[in-house]
Structure 1
Amino acid sequence: MSESRIRPAVHSDAAVLAELDHRTWSPLHAVTPKPQPPYDPFFDARHRPEEYLVAEADGPGGEDLVVGYIRVARPTSLASNAHVRQIQGLVVHPEARGRGIARALLRAAALHACNQGARRLTLRVLGHNAPARALYEAEGYVVEGVLPGEFHLDGRYVDDVFMAISLTP
Protein backbone atom coordinates (compact mmCIF):
# COMPACT_ATOMS: atom_id res chain seq x y z
CA MET A 1 0.00 0.00 0.00
CA SER A 2 1.21 3.47 -0.82
CA GLU A 3 0.74 6.75 1.04
CA SER A 4 -2.80 7.33 2.28
CA ARG A 5 -5.27 9.91 1.04
CA ILE A 6 -8.01 11.34 3.25
CA ARG A 7 -11.45 12.23 1.89
CA PRO A 8 -14.96 12.81 3.22
CA ALA A 9 -17.13 9.71 3.53
CA VAL A 10 -20.07 9.13 1.20
CA HIS A 11 -23.15 6.91 1.61
CA SER A 12 -21.64 4.23 -0.63
CA ASP A 13 -18.81 3.75 1.92
CA ALA A 14 -21.23 2.20 4.43
CA ALA A 15 -20.55 -1.47 3.68
CA VAL A 16 -16.75 -1.21 3.62
CA LEU A 17 -16.69 0.95 6.77
CA ALA A 18 -18.99 -1.49 8.57
CA GLU A 19 -16.74 -4.39 7.56
CA LEU A 20 -13.67 -2.49 8.79
CA ASP A 21 -15.46 -1.67 12.04
CA HIS A 22 -16.41 -5.30 12.68
CA ARG A 23 -12.95 -6.57 11.73
CA THR A 24 -11.15 -4.22 14.11
CA TRP A 25 -13.42 -4.61 17.15
CA SER A 26 -11.30 -5.12 20.27
CA PRO A 27 -11.78 -4.87 24.04
CA LEU A 28 -8.75 -2.56 23.98
CA HIS A 29 -10.97 0.25 22.68
CA ALA A 30 -14.60 -0.95 22.63
CA VAL A 31 -17.00 -0.43 25.52
CA THR A 32 -19.82 -2.34 23.87
CA PRO A 33 -20.03 -6.10 23.28
CA LYS A 34 -18.68 -7.47 20.04
CA PRO A 35 -21.33 -6.85 17.36
CA GLN A 36 -23.12 -9.91 16.03
CA PRO A 37 -25.18 -10.28 12.87
CA PRO A 38 -27.56 -8.92 11.86
CA TYR A 39 -25.60 -5.68 12.12
CA ASP A 40 -27.13 -2.25 12.47
CA PRO A 41 -26.60 0.08 9.50
CA PHE A 42 -23.26 1.90 9.64
CA PHE A 43 -24.83 5.24 8.73
CA ASP A 44 -28.07 6.31 10.37
CA ALA A 45 -29.70 9.49 11.69
CA ARG A 46 -27.14 9.75 14.51
CA HIS A 47 -24.10 8.68 12.43
CA ARG A 48 -24.12 10.67 9.21
CA PRO A 49 -21.54 10.33 6.41
CA GLU A 50 -20.54 14.00 6.73
CA GLU A 51 -19.15 13.24 10.21
CA TYR A 52 -16.59 10.78 8.80
CA LEU A 53 -13.28 11.11 7.03
CA VAL A 54 -11.96 8.07 5.18
CA ALA A 55 -8.35 7.04 4.55
CA GLU A 56 -7.59 5.32 1.26
CA ALA A 57 -4.43 3.76 -0.12
CA ASP A 58 -3.58 2.12 -3.44
CA GLY A 59 -4.35 -1.57 -3.54
CA PRO A 60 -2.19 -4.16 -5.30
CA GLY A 61 -3.98 -3.56 -8.60
CA GLY A 62 -3.96 0.23 -8.24
CA GLU A 63 -7.54 0.36 -6.92
CA ASP A 64 -8.43 2.58 -3.98
CA LEU A 65 -8.69 0.58 -0.76
CA VAL A 66 -10.33 1.99 2.36
CA VAL A 67 -7.79 1.51 5.14
CA GLY A 68 -9.28 3.62 7.93
CA TYR A 69 -11.72 6.22 9.11
CA ILE A 70 -12.26 8.82 11.80
CA ARG A 71 -15.55 10.23 13.05
CA VAL A 72 -15.63 13.93 14.00
CA ALA A 73 -18.96 15.00 15.47
CA ARG A 74 -20.52 17.52 17.80
CA PRO A 75 -20.52 16.06 21.32
CA THR A 76 -23.97 17.55 22.01
CA SER A 77 -26.62 19.53 20.18
CA LEU A 78 -26.29 22.44 22.62
CA ALA A 79 -25.55 25.83 21.08
CA SER A 80 -23.30 26.61 24.04
CA ASN A 81 -20.73 24.03 22.95
CA ALA A 82 -21.10 24.30 19.18
CA HIS A 83 -17.43 25.34 19.14
CA VAL A 84 -16.38 21.80 20.16
CA ARG A 85 -15.94 18.72 18.01
CA GLN A 86 -15.27 15.25 19.36
CA ILE A 87 -13.51 12.29 17.82
CA GLN A 88 -15.98 9.46 18.24
CA GLY A 89 -14.12 6.68 16.50
CA LEU A 90 -10.75 6.09 14.86
CA VAL A 91 -10.13 2.84 13.00
CA VAL A 92 -7.20 1.64 10.89
CA HIS A 93 -7.13 -1.69 9.04
CA PRO A 94 -4.75 -4.11 10.84
CA GLU A 95 -2.60 -4.57 7.71
CA ALA A 96 -2.22 -0.79 7.32
CA ARG A 97 -1.13 -0.01 10.88
CA GLY A 98 2.26 1.52 11.52
CA ARG A 99 2.17 3.56 8.31
CA GLY A 100 1.04 6.90 9.74
CA ILE A 101 -2.61 6.52 8.74
CA ALA A 102 -4.01 7.16 12.23
CA ARG A 103 -1.78 10.23 12.54
CA ALA A 104 -2.93 11.48 9.12
CA LEU A 105 -6.58 10.94 10.11
CA LEU A 106 -6.07 12.85 13.39
CA ARG A 107 -4.50 15.77 11.55
CA ALA A 108 -7.25 15.77 8.93
CA ALA A 109 -9.84 15.68 11.72
CA ALA A 110 -8.31 18.76 13.35
CA LEU A 111 -8.36 20.64 10.03
CA HIS A 112 -11.93 19.47 9.37
CA ALA A 113 -13.02 20.67 12.83
CA CYS A 114 -11.27 24.03 12.31
CA ASN A 115 -13.04 24.44 8.98
CA GLN A 116 -16.33 23.99 10.82
CA GLY A 117 -15.40 26.78 13.24
CA ALA A 118 -14.43 24.52 16.14
CA ARG A 119 -12.01 25.81 18.77
CA ARG A 120 -11.52 22.49 20.59
CA LEU A 121 -11.26 18.86 19.57
CA THR A 122 -11.88 16.28 22.28
CA LEU A 123 -11.86 12.51 22.57
CA ARG A 124 -12.29 9.73 25.07
CA VAL A 125 -9.92 6.78 25.27
CA LEU A 126 -9.82 3.79 27.57
CA GLY A 127 -7.06 4.01 30.15
CA HIS A 128 -5.57 0.64 29.20
CA ASN A 129 -5.20 1.61 25.52
CA ALA A 130 -1.58 2.70 25.80
CA PRO A 131 -0.85 2.78 22.02
CA ALA A 132 -3.78 5.14 21.35
CA ARG A 133 -2.95 7.34 24.32
CA ALA A 134 0.67 7.64 23.17
CA LEU A 135 -0.45 8.59 19.66
CA TYR A 136 -2.86 11.24 20.95
CA GLU A 137 -0.21 12.70 23.25
CA ALA A 138 2.30 12.78 20.38
CA GLU A 139 -0.26 14.77 18.37
CA GLY A 140 -0.64 17.35 21.15
CA TYR A 141 -3.70 16.06 23.01
CA VAL A 142 -3.58 16.48 26.77
CA VAL A 143 -5.44 14.63 29.48
CA GLU A 144 -8.13 16.87 30.92
CA GLY A 145 -9.81 14.32 33.13
CA VAL A 146 -10.02 10.71 34.17
CA LEU A 147 -13.08 8.79 35.31
CA PRO A 148 -11.54 5.96 37.33
CA GLY A 149 -13.11 2.54 36.80
CA GLU A 150 -15.83 3.97 34.56
CA PHE A 151 -16.18 0.76 32.53
CA HIS A 152 -16.19 -2.91 33.52
CA LEU A 153 -14.64 -4.81 30.61
CA ASP A 154 -13.46 -8.41 30.50
CA GLY A 155 -13.74 -8.73 34.26
CA ARG A 156 -11.81 -5.59 35.19
CA TYR A 157 -12.52 -1.93 35.79
CA VAL A 158 -11.07 0.43 33.20
CA ASP A 159 -10.61 4.20 33.35
CA ASP A 160 -12.23 6.54 30.84
CA VAL A 161 -9.66 9.19 29.89
CA PHE A 162 -10.82 12.52 28.45
CA MET A 163 -8.27 14.25 26.19
CA ALA A 164 -8.40 17.43 24.12
CA ILE A 165 -6.43 19.76 21.92
CA SER A 166 -6.97 23.46 21.31
CA LEU A 167 -7.54 24.43 17.69
CA THR A 168 -6.80 28.10 18.24
CA PRO A 169 -3.34 29.61 17.92
Structure 2
Amino acid sequence: MPLDVSIRPARAGDEHELLALHRAVWSPVSEAAPIRPPDGTVFDERHPAESFLIAEQGPKIVAYITQGPPTPLASNRHVRQIQGLGVHASARGQGIGQALVEAACAAAQAQGARRITLRVLGRNLPAQQLYLRCGFTVVGILPEEFFLDGAYVDDIWMSRRLSAHEHADQ
Protein backbone atom coordinates (compact mmCIF):
# COMPACT_ATOMS: atom_id res chain seq x y z
CA MET A 1 0.00 0.00 0.00
CA PRO A 2 1.35 3.45 -0.84
CA LEU A 3 2.80 5.50 2.01
CA ASP A 4 0.40 8.37 1.33
CA VAL A 5 -2.68 6.20 2.00
CA SER A 6 -4.22 5.94 5.45
CA ILE A 7 -7.12 3.84 6.70
CA ARG A 8 -9.54 5.18 9.28
CA PRO A 9 -13.11 4.65 10.50
CA ALA A 10 -15.71 6.64 8.58
CA ARG A 11 -17.42 9.63 10.14
CA ALA A 12 -20.92 10.97 9.53
CA GLY A 13 -19.40 13.86 7.55
CA ASP A 14 -17.92 11.40 5.01
CA GLU A 15 -21.31 10.35 3.65
CA HIS A 16 -21.45 12.71 0.65
CA GLU A 17 -17.94 11.74 -0.52
CA LEU A 18 -18.65 8.03 0.12
CA LEU A 19 -21.83 8.21 -1.95
CA ALA A 20 -19.91 9.81 -4.82
CA LEU A 21 -17.25 7.09 -4.56
CA HIS A 22 -19.87 4.34 -4.42
CA ARG A 23 -21.50 5.73 -7.58
CA ALA A 24 -18.08 6.01 -9.30
CA VAL A 25 -17.14 2.38 -8.60
CA TRP A 26 -20.60 0.85 -9.15
CA SER A 27 -20.64 -1.76 -11.87
CA PRO A 28 -23.07 -4.48 -12.93
CA VAL A 29 -20.09 -6.85 -12.72
CA SER A 30 -19.82 -6.31 -8.97
CA GLU A 31 -23.29 -5.21 -7.87
CA ALA A 32 -26.63 -6.99 -7.90
CA ALA A 33 -28.42 -3.89 -6.55
CA PRO A 34 -29.12 -0.89 -8.75
CA ILE A 35 -26.89 2.18 -8.53
CA ARG A 36 -27.81 4.57 -5.75
CA PRO A 37 -29.32 7.88 -6.80
CA PRO A 38 -27.13 11.02 -6.57
CA ASP A 39 -29.23 12.25 -3.64
CA GLY A 40 -29.21 8.84 -1.92
CA THR A 41 -27.61 7.79 1.33
CA VAL A 42 -24.83 5.38 2.26
CA PHE A 43 -25.35 5.20 6.01
CA ASP A 44 -28.50 3.57 7.36
CA GLU A 45 -29.66 1.48 10.32
CA ARG A 46 -27.84 -1.65 9.08
CA HIS A 47 -24.80 0.28 7.83
CA PRO A 48 -23.97 3.10 10.27
CA ALA A 49 -20.86 5.21 9.75
CA GLU A 50 -18.93 3.11 12.28
CA SER A 51 -19.35 -0.02 10.11
CA PHE A 52 -17.22 1.58 7.37
CA LEU A 53 -13.47 1.86 7.07
CA ILE A 54 -12.16 4.25 4.46
CA ALA A 55 -8.83 4.66 2.72
CA GLU A 56 -7.69 8.21 2.12
CA GLN A 57 -4.99 9.25 -0.30
CA GLY A 58 -4.18 12.74 0.83
CA PRO A 59 -7.50 14.42 1.57
CA LYS A 60 -9.46 12.24 -0.87
CA ILE A 61 -11.40 9.07 0.00
CA VAL A 62 -10.28 6.49 -2.60
CA ALA A 63 -11.74 3.28 -1.15
CA TYR A 64 -14.10 1.90 1.47
CA ILE A 65 -15.17 -1.36 3.07
CA THR A 66 -18.14 -2.03 5.30
CA GLN A 67 -18.67 -4.96 7.62
CA GLY A 68 -21.26 -5.82 10.19
CA PRO A 69 -23.43 -8.57 11.60
CA PRO A 70 -25.03 -10.69 8.86
CA THR A 71 -28.25 -10.97 10.92
CA PRO A 72 -29.68 -9.41 14.09
CA LEU A 73 -29.74 -12.82 15.84
CA ALA A 74 -27.77 -13.27 19.07
CA SER A 75 -26.89 -16.81 17.95
CA ASN A 76 -25.07 -15.29 14.95
CA ARG A 77 -23.23 -12.46 16.73
CA HIS A 78 -19.85 -14.23 16.47
CA VAL A 79 -19.91 -13.72 12.68
CA ARG A 80 -19.34 -10.54 10.68
CA GLN A 81 -20.00 -10.04 7.00
CA ILE A 82 -18.25 -7.81 4.50
CA GLN A 83 -21.17 -5.97 2.95
CA GLY A 84 -19.41 -3.67 0.53
CA LEU A 85 -15.98 -2.88 -0.88
CA GLY A 86 -15.06 -0.27 -3.45
CA VAL A 87 -11.76 1.07 -4.73
CA HIS A 88 -11.65 4.02 -7.12
CA ALA A 89 -10.16 3.12 -10.51
CA SER A 90 -7.27 5.55 -9.93
CA ALA A 91 -6.27 3.68 -6.75
CA ARG A 92 -6.54 0.08 -7.97
CA GLY A 93 -3.52 -2.20 -8.14
CA GLN A 94 -1.81 -0.56 -5.15
CA GLY A 95 -2.82 -3.02 -2.42
CA ILE A 96 -5.47 -0.72 -0.94
CA GLY A 97 -8.30 -3.24 -1.32
CA GLN A 98 -6.26 -5.94 0.40
CA ALA A 99 -5.29 -3.54 3.20
CA LEU A 100 -8.97 -2.68 3.73
CA VAL A 101 -10.01 -6.35 3.82
CA GLU A 102 -7.31 -7.08 6.39
CA ALA A 103 -8.33 -4.02 8.44
CA ALA A 104 -11.99 -5.13 8.35
CA CYS A 105 -10.98 -8.62 9.50
CA ALA A 106 -8.94 -7.15 12.35
CA ALA A 107 -11.84 -4.90 13.38
CA ALA A 108 -14.27 -7.83 13.29
CA GLN A 109 -11.94 -9.92 15.43
CA ALA A 110 -11.55 -7.02 17.89
CA GLN A 111 -15.37 -6.97 18.14
CA GLY A 112 -15.28 -10.64 19.18
CA ALA A 113 -16.04 -12.25 15.82
CA ARG A 114 -14.68 -15.71 15.10
CA ARG A 115 -15.54 -15.74 11.41
CA ILE A 116 -16.10 -13.26 8.61
CA THR A 117 -18.14 -14.02 5.51
CA LEU A 118 -19.06 -12.32 2.27
CA ARG A 119 -20.98 -12.79 -0.95
CA VAL A 120 -19.49 -12.02 -4.35
CA LEU A 121 -20.95 -12.30 -7.83
CA GLY A 122 -19.61 -15.20 -9.87
CA ARG A 123 -18.56 -12.88 -12.70
CA ASN A 124 -16.50 -10.64 -10.38
CA LEU A 125 -13.22 -12.52 -10.74
CA PRO A 126 -10.92 -9.71 -9.49
CA ALA A 127 -12.83 -9.55 -6.19
CA GLN A 128 -12.79 -13.34 -5.82
CA GLN A 129 -9.03 -13.36 -6.35
CA LEU A 130 -8.58 -10.58 -3.78
CA TYR A 131 -10.58 -12.48 -1.18
CA LEU A 132 -8.68 -15.71 -1.87
CA ARG A 133 -5.38 -13.81 -1.36
CA CYS A 134 -6.78 -12.61 1.97
CA GLY A 135 -7.42 -16.16 3.18
CA PHE A 136 -11.10 -16.58 2.32
CA THR A 137 -12.37 -19.86 0.94
CA VAL A 138 -15.48 -20.61 -1.10
CA VAL A 139 -18.03 -22.25 1.19
CA GLY A 140 -20.97 -22.33 -1.19
CA ILE A 141 -22.35 -21.30 -4.55
CA LEU A 142 -25.95 -20.42 -5.29
CA PRO A 143 -26.15 -21.11 -9.03
CA GLU A 144 -27.97 -18.53 -11.15
CA GLU A 145 -29.05 -16.60 -8.05
CA PHE A 146 -29.31 -13.27 -9.92
CA PHE A 147 -30.51 -12.30 -13.38
CA LEU A 148 -28.39 -9.30 -14.39
CA ASP A 149 -28.00 -7.70 -17.79
CA GLY A 150 -29.75 -10.60 -19.51
CA ALA A 151 -27.66 -13.35 -17.90
CA TYR A 152 -27.93 -15.58 -14.86
CA VAL A 153 -25.13 -14.98 -12.36
CA ASP A 154 -23.96 -17.20 -9.49
CA ASP A 155 -23.77 -15.90 -5.92
CA ILE A 156 -20.51 -17.10 -4.35
CA TRP A 157 -20.30 -17.32 -0.55
CA MET A 158 -16.85 -17.05 0.99
CA SER A 159 -15.65 -17.28 4.58
CA ARG A 160 -12.53 -16.82 6.68
CA ARG A 161 -11.82 -17.96 10.23
CA LEU A 162 -10.62 -15.07 12.40
CA SER A 163 -9.51 -16.88 15.53
CA ALA A 164 -8.87 -20.36 16.78
CA HIS A 165 -10.33 -19.56 20.20
CA GLU A 166 -13.50 -21.26 21.35
CA HIS A 167 -15.97 -18.83 22.90
CA ALA A 168 -18.61 -20.62 24.93
CA ASP A 169 -20.57 -17.38 25.36
CA GLN A 170 -20.76 -16.68 21.63
TM-score normalised over the length of structure 2: 0.92
Q: Of residues 132, 155, 161 in structure 2, which corresponds to 1:160? A: 155
Determine helix, strand or coil for the equivalent of 2:131. Answer: helix
Q: Of residues 120, 124, 134 in structure 1, which corresponds to 2:119? A: 124
1:20-39 equivalences in 2 (<5 Å)? 20-37=21-38, 39=39
| CA displacement, residues 87-125 of structure 1 (integer Å, 9 cap, x when unaligned) | 000011110000100000000001000100000000000
Q: 5+ residue gaps in structure 1?
A: 59-63
Determine helix, strand or coil for the equivalent of 1:70. Answer: strand
| Number of aligned positions between the proteins | 163
1: CA distance, partners of 2:103 / 2:69: 16
- Residue 2 of structure 1 deviates from its aligned partner by 4.5
- The aligned counterpart of 1:13 is 14
Instruction: Percent identity, please.
Output: 50
Letter in 1 for 2:57: A
Q: 5+ residue gaps in structure 2?
A: 165-170
Alignment of 1:96 with 2:97, yes or no, is no
1: CA distance, partners of 2:36 / 2:48: 20
Q: Of residues 105, 110, 114 in structure 2, which corresponds to 1:115? A: 110
2: CA distance, partners of 1:2 / 1:65: 14
Say whether the 8 Å CA contact 2:117–2:159 is kept in structure 1. yes
| CA displacement, residues 8-47 of structure 1 (integer Å, 9 cap, x when unaligned) | 010000000000001111011111223334x322212222
1: CA distance, partners of 2:4 / 2:129: 22
1: CA distance, partners of 2:101 / 2:69: 16
